[in-house]
Amino acid sequence: MSGTRALTWREIVSSFNVVSARDLAAMDVMERHQDIRDRVGWLAADEDPLALLFISHRWQTPRHPDPDASDLRSIQTFLGKVASATHALMVDRAQRLGMMESLTAEGDLQAEEIARRMLGFGPFADGTAAKTGSEAKAMVREAFRTLRGDKIAFGDWLLRRIGVWLDFVCMPQKPLGSGDEDEFRRSLDTLDSLVMSSTVVALRRPDDDYATRGWCASEFFLASGRSFARGVFVDVDGMEHGRRVLLEPGPVTQSPASSAAAEVLAQSYALDAGAFSRACEEWSGFDGAFIDVVPPAAWAEYRSLQGSTFYPASFDPNPFRRVHEAIRAIEQALVAHWLMSDRERRIDLAKEVAAFLEREGVRCTEATDHVYLGLLIAGHGWVEAFRPLFEEGRRRYVKRMPAGRGEGSIPSLPVALRPLPSDLRARFVEVSPASAGTWHSRLSVGSGSNAREQAAVDAVRNGLAANPPEFRFFDSTDQPTKGSLIERL
């Protein structure tokens, strides 16, 4: 992940509006931020929440994300399940099963994972802007004791202390008034930090196009932190109809490389399926209260199960795959035509990142979003040396991009990429094959295939860290760019 860091709660409320889950649960429709900002009690700097949830969802229309309020109702249902799951962790088996019978139910599984993290259990319980797990657990224990386990009162208390960020409600929307532009640009400038400081909950439906939409796929990529299980997604149709979580019967491949490969997949699936079943059984069978022990990590086992098989492309369990490939492609192009080149290269960075996203089938309604998201995600790539280029490009682009929907031309970002010193470039031939793909892999993981390669990789990485690759943004009226990186692939 890039050098962008997670934000503290005070830093978040200085740039973003965060609504409490209780206030969101009281809404009848999803209203535009500018229409409700004076009516909503946004969480304050001294109200750091027990959990901070970033809702990622597919807008239903370009003008309004949720005209029939179906997504809002799904969010409200899920928040209610989070409250029930937290309550269930506080009580013994008989009471727990009365609230949440099984973790195999869609929505219940994900809600229990949010409750676990909020109380400090599991590998994803830290790293967010919410209270620490120990603080949250102590507060929840005390509230549960004071309220004598009253489910309604406890749920109301808890939802008031869960923060939610939902784009249409919490961020100024186009068309922007004159007073909205600064807040809009400030939010765009640090949106990746907000995602990294939250637990992302994605709303999914079978056969949706979430994985091809720029905003959705980028949000889930940033949320992942390179871990498949960090982001949480909910099949809202399955949740609303009380269905079990989606489980494929086993690995299905079109043409496995060999019978041995197919056997490995089958064994992996069987192991992960067994682990998920045992976690669900532990939830249903444990007699005491889970607040006193470590609850089963059913969500993590479920995600491992998905990773051991192949799900239909219409409901890809890795919805940021296209984003992943776009970043890899542009980084490989920069390795070839910047790090390994002896000539200065002039390109329009805005057009480059948009072109790579388009090539991988990542779509946006607005062209300005295509460029912004390309710069945003590329700044979270694998090659450390490229991140300053994309981060500086994004800062410049956010300042110059048109504020109104569909208004004005897309700003260009002409930049000159200056060649590395010749002695450092000479080290690239010491890896075989000395290709952009090989060097991208070596720079990403920091290892070579033998001692000679490792020495070359270390020398290049250390050289890039000591003397970062030079670039210079210039005015579009200067010498025009020459060609395109994507054309040279």
Give the model confidence (pLDDT) of 365-411 as tens digits.
888 999 999 999 999 999 999 999 999 999 999 998 876 544 457 88
Helix runs in 119-235, H state only: 133-146, 151-160, 167-170, 181-189, 191-196, 214-224
List beta partners, residue 165.
Answer: 54
Element spanning 347, H or E: strand 345-348
Q: Which of 473, 468, 470, 436 is closest to 348 using CA atoms?
A: 473
Token code pair at residue 81: 């399940």
Report the amino acid identity of residue 184. F
Is pLDDT at 71 greater than 60 in this prediction?
yes
- DSSP code for 363: B
Rg (CA), the chain: 24
C-alpha torsion sign, points 398, 56, 123, 155:
positive
The confidence band for 65, taking pLDDT boundaries of 50, 70 and 90, is very high
Is pLDDT at 237 greater than 60 in this prediction?
yes
Instruction: Identify the residue with better confidence: 307 or 350.
Output: 350
**Which pLDDT score is estimated for 401?**
82
- Residue 464: how many CB atoms within 10 A of its CB? 18
**Which pLDDT score is estimated for 267?**
85
Token code pair at residue 446: 């920091």
Domains of the chain, by residue range, sit at 9-315, 321-488
What whole-number percentage of the chain has pLDDT above 90? 73
Q: Say if residues 434 and 350 touch (Cβ distance below 8 Å).
A: no
**Which pLDDT score is estimated for 128?**
82
The confidence band for 251, taking pLDDT boundaries of 50, 70 and 90, is low
Q: Quick one: how far is CA 381 from the chain centroid?
A: 13
**Which pLDDT score is estimated for 355?**
94
- Taking the C-alpha atoms of residue 31 and residue 46, their distance in angstroms, rounded to an integer, is 26
Mean pLDDT of 418-430: 96
Question: What's the 3-state SS for 157-187?
Answer: HHHHCEEEECHHHHCCCCCCCCCCHHHHHHH
Per the document, the length of the chain is: 489
Is pLDDT at 420 greater than 80 in this prediction?
yes
**Which pLDDT score is estimated for 477?**
56
**Which pLDDT score is estimated for 248?**
72
Is pLDDT at 166 greater than 60 in this prediction?
yes
Q: Say if residues 86 and 108 touch (Cβ distance below 8 Å).
A: no
- Residue 379: how many CB atoms within 10 A of its CB? 24
Residues 6 or more apart from 270 whose CB is under 8 A from it?
none
- Taking the C-alpha atoms of residue 215 and residue 169, their distance in angstroms, rounded to an integer, is 16
Phi and psi at 363, nearest 5°, equal -115, 150
Q: Which of 282, 280, 290 is closest to 103 using CA atoms?
A: 280
Instruction: Give the pLDDT confidence of 133-163 residue by residue, as tens digits.
Output: 899 999 999 999 999 989 999 999 999 999 9
The pTM of this model reads 0.91
Is pLDDT at 489 greater than 50 in this prediction?
no
Q: Say if residues 265 and 251 touch (Cβ distance below 8 Å).
A: yes
Mean pLDDT of 419-434: 95
How would you classify residue 72: left for phi > 0, otherwise alpha for psi between -120 and 50, otherwise beta?
alpha
**Which pLDDT score is estimated for 406?**
46
**Which pLDDT score is estimated for 480?**
53
Least confident of 66-70, 175-179, 185-189: 175-179
Instruction: Give the pLDDT confidence of 254-306 residue by residue, as tens digits.
Output: 555 557 777 787 888 889 999 999 999 999 999 999 999 999 999 999 988 87
**Which pLDDT score is estimated for 129?**
83
Q: Say if residues 238 and 116 touch (Cβ distance below 8 Å).
A: no
The confidence band for 246, taking pLDDT boundaries of 50, 70 and 90, is confident
Q: Say if residues 102 and 96 touch (Cβ distance below 8 Å).
A: no
**Which pLDDT score is estimated for 249?**
72
Q: What is the mean pLDDT of the chain?
A: 89
Q: Which of 89, 75, 85, 84 is closest to 23 using CA atoms?
A: 75
Instruction: Give the pLDDT confidence of 201-223 residue by residue, as tens digits.
Output: 999 988 888 989 999 999 999 98
- Taking the C-alpha atoms of residue 339 and residue 44, their distance in angstroms, rounded to an integer, is 46
